[in-house]
Amino acid sequence: MSLIVRPMRPEETERVMEIDCVAFGDLQEKLTGRPFDLPMREREFFEFWQRADPEGALVAEKDGAIIGINFNHARRRSGWFGPLAVAPGEQSAGAGKALLQAGMEYLAGARCRMIGLDTYPHNPVAVSMYLKNGFEVVGSTVQLEIHLPIERLNNEGANPRAGDSSAAVEPIGAEDMVTIIGTEEELSGFNRAKDFSFLLEWDHAFGLRVSDGTDLAGYLWGYRKRGKGVIGSFYVADENQYREVGCPLLDAAFEEFLRLGLSNIVSLNDGNQSKQLNFLFGIGFRTRSTMLKLHLGDIVSRRTHSPLASEKG
């Protein structure tokens, strides 16, 4: 058997997408004990990841056939990886460990001092592999979901009758990026300039903001993933202003998702963000899943955002 790990080529995107879909679908079946029809992830993600980190978009090849993938994202001093997946029936070939090692070497070579990832807590094989490679559990990522349409929100309470907040929501523009990228890096430790630029340009994504005079009061990024709408980053500057800022942001986001034909919406949240979680539960979101957040390297004691999104599932 000949197993090698190397950067993927653009013409291999279809095979990479297939492994991503089949491997995570198979994992979900094993974890839930029931058939799981997982939609394919949108091609634009894979094309962007390869453009952003051409040497970090890795495949494992056995006897000339691609059997595994690992996408690594170097963002200045910090990085993360995912999706990392191996085709069903090939897990015993050592491809997972080889892909992880190669990805860690890539991120170290890019001078990342911290590496982050999310993984399912009820997948002991993956958790064990990461812990053996020096990762530490630092928290959780809570995935919530809601189904549209719902009644329009305002700042009076949960799911009130139609009403408008005085906060003005505007699309994020290029002129807002420096402030938002800096805020995100302070919150998460990860620089997301490349990722937000991708979302700003993609037809199936959007960014929204609310300003308080000249200051940024809040923002939200939304995008399509596996045929669902995802809120990958939701920020309110003043934790006591979730109603006043969060409701108009979500109202506008829900309209954007419906415009894109998306009615099943997932929100990704740090498990320590209790006020944000309480707010989202109060307007109708429900728990979808919880994942472990692991870091390697410079462990920061308190970060309120995960990387752009958990790329699992």
- Same domain for 101 and 152, yes or no, is no
Q: Which of 286, 299, 313 is nearest to 139 (CA)?
A: 299
Burial of 290 (0-12, 13-18, 19+ CB in 10 A): middle
121 occurs within a structural domain: no
AA letter at 208: L
One-character DSSP codes across 86-128: E-TT-GGGTHHHHHHHHHHHHHHHTT-SEEEEEE-TT-HHHHH
- Same domain for 209 and 152, yes or no, is yes
How many Å apart are CA 304 and CA 186, to the nearest integer?
Answer: 9
Q: Give the range among 23-37, 77-91, 99-113, 152-166 with minimum mean pLDDT.
A: 152-166
306 occurs within a structural domain: no
The pTM assigned to this predicted structure is 0.90
Q: Which of 174, 178, 181, 146 is nearest to 251 (CA)?
A: 146
- Same domain for 8 and 101, yes or no, is yes
- The count of structural domains within the chain is 2
Q: Which of 222, 242, 245 is nearest to 232 (CA)?
A: 222
The 10s digit of each residue's pLDDT in 137-148 is 998 999 999 999
The 10s digit of each residue's pLDDT in 180-210 is 999 998 888 888 999 999 999 999 999 999 9
- Same domain for 212 and 156, yes or no, is yes
97 occurs within a structural domain: yes
- Same domain for 164 and 256, yes or no, is yes
Q: Which of 35, 119, 49 is nearest to 289 (CA)?
A: 119
How many Å apart are CA 138 and CA 130, to the nearest integer?
Answer: 13
pLDDT value at position 312? 45
Using 50, 70 and 90 to split pLDDT, how confident is the model at 304?
low
126 occurs within a structural domain: no
* Full domain range(s) for residue 186: 142-297
